[in-house]
């Protein structure tokens, strides 16, 4: 199969980079088209350096779509109105190809409006850690997608992390939980770095230790039988240091503030839906 990517920016580039590592062993080929060709070329160099693998850069949108079995739409939501007519023209007979969108706010209904009710469409919500194999991608299928189609699309995202299927009404919730949350996690890591440097640590060491602690805590949550709350209790020995931090954070409403921040992302996702 040929897997084509329209848009090799932050997200499209991240997915393509992770997928390029395994495309060949899955018996597939990766293709790309980006408005600014130099960006796709820079990504290709990066992919070659990273994994020794490659992908083909196409000269036009029409060529990319015609040559692909699965087309990943990785352009900004505001550019869909410009790009979709060209995609629709080259998309061929309904059922021939699968269109996968990664865009926030672009609904299956909108995409069916552009490609027809019989087109095969998967709407997804990935996040940038996919480039390091630690992505989390939610997937929604329209009525024309078979289990086999879904497996083919899943294989692309699972080259870079975990996936889960949801209904479309839950995409906003996914955006709050995993799509946008790397950003607020960076803020948290930055705050930990500040504590480290304020207390005399070398900034580079503080950064590595804070980031590793966040990644390690994530791993603990994914592998432990206990809930996150229980894991927190487990490390709060009475009279110890951690319990003092946890008490202070609770007094200052750390959890409520995080919920309010993430909810703003969910609300914005609902507003952007078209």
Ligand X SMILES: NC(=O)c1ccc[n+]([C@@H]2O[C@H](COP(=O)([O-])OP(=O)(O)OC[C@H]3O[C@@H](n4cnc5c(N)ncnc54)[C@H](OP(=O)(O)O)[C@@H]3O)[C@@H](O)[C@H]2O)c1
Task: Note the residues at the interface with ligand X (CB under 6 A).
Answer: 6-12, 33-36, 39, 61, 74-77, 79, 82-83, 102-104, 125-128, 179
Taking the C-alpha atoms of residue 185 and residue 96, their distance in angstroms, rounded to an integer, is: 40
> For the sheet containing 70-73, what is the strand order?
56-57, 29-33, 2-6, 70-73, 98-101, 120-125, 135-141, 161-165
Give the pair of three-digit tokens for residue 34.
């980006």
Can you name the residues that pair with 60 across neighbouring β-strands?
none
Least CB distance to ligand X at residue 112 (A): 18
Residue closer to ligand X, measured from CB, 7 or 97? 7
- Residue among 128 and 273 whose Cβ is closer to ligand X: 128
| Residue among 107 and 127 whose Cβ is closer to ligand X | 127
Q: Are 166 and 140 in contact (CB under 8 A)?
A: yes
- Cβ distance to ligand X smaller for residue 33 or 157: 33
Give the span between the Cα atoms of 162 and 154, in whole angstroms: 9
Q: For the chain, where are the E strands, in sequence order?
A: 2-6, 29-33, 56-57, 70-73, 98-101, 120-125, 135-141, 161-165
Nearer to ligand X (CB atom), residue 17 or residue 141: 17
CB of 39 to ligand X, least distance (A): 4
Contact of 124 with 96, CB cutoff 8 Å: no
**Closest listed residue to residue 266, CA positions, set 137, 182, 189, 169:** 169
137: helix, strand or coil: strand
What is the nearest approach in angstroms of ligand X to the Cβ of residue 206?
A: 25
Question: Which is it for strands 98-101 and 161-165: parallel, antiparallel or unpaired?
Answer: unpaired
Beta carbon of residue 255, minimum distance to ligand X (angstroms, whole number) = 24
User: Which CB sits closer to ligand X, 82 or 270?
Assistant: 82
- Least distance to ligand X, CB of residue 32, Å: 9
Minimum distance from residue 102 beta carbon to ligand X (Å): 5
Nearest to 121 by CA among 100, 137, 94: 100
Distance CA 245, CA 3 (A): 48
Output the residue with the shortest Cβ distance to ligand X. Answer: 9
Q: How far is the CB of 12 from ligand X (least distance, A)?
A: 5
* Nearer Cβ to ligand X (132/248): 132
């Amino acid at each position: 199969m040929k897997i084509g990517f329209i848009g090799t920016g932050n997200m499209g580039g991240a997915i393509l980079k992770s997928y390029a590592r395994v495309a060949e062993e899955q018996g597939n080929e990766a293709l790309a088209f980006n408005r600014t060709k130099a960006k796709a070329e820079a990504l290709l160099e990066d992919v070659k350096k990273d994994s020794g693998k490659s992908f083909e850069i196409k000269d036009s949108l029409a060529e990319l779509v015609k040559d692909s079995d699965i087309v990943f739409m990785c352009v900004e939501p505001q550019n869909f109105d410009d790009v979709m007519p060209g995609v629709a023209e080259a998309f061929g007979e309904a059922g021939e190809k699968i269109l996968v969108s990664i865009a926030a706010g672009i609904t299956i209904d909108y995409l069916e409006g552009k490609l027809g009710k019989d087109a095969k469409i998967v709407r997804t919500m990935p996040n940038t850690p996919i480039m390091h194999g630690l992505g989390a991608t939610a997937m929604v299928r329209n009525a024309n997608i078979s289990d086999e189609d879904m497996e083919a699309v899943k294989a692309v995202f699972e080259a870079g992390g975990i996936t889960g299927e949801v209904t479309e009404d839950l995409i906003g919730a996914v955006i709050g939980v995993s799509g946008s949350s790397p950003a607020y996690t960076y803020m948290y890591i930055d705050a930990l770095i500040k504590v480290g440097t304020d207390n005399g640590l070398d900034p580079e060491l503080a950064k590595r230790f804070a980031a590793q602690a966040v990644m390690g805590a994530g791993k603990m949550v994914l592998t432990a039988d206990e809930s996150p709350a229980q894991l927190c209790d487990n490390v709060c020995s009475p009279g110890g240091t951690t319990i003092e931090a946890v008490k202070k954070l609770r007094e200052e409403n750390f959890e409520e503030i995080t919920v309010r921040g993430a909810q703003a992302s969910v609300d914005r996702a609902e507003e952007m839906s078209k």
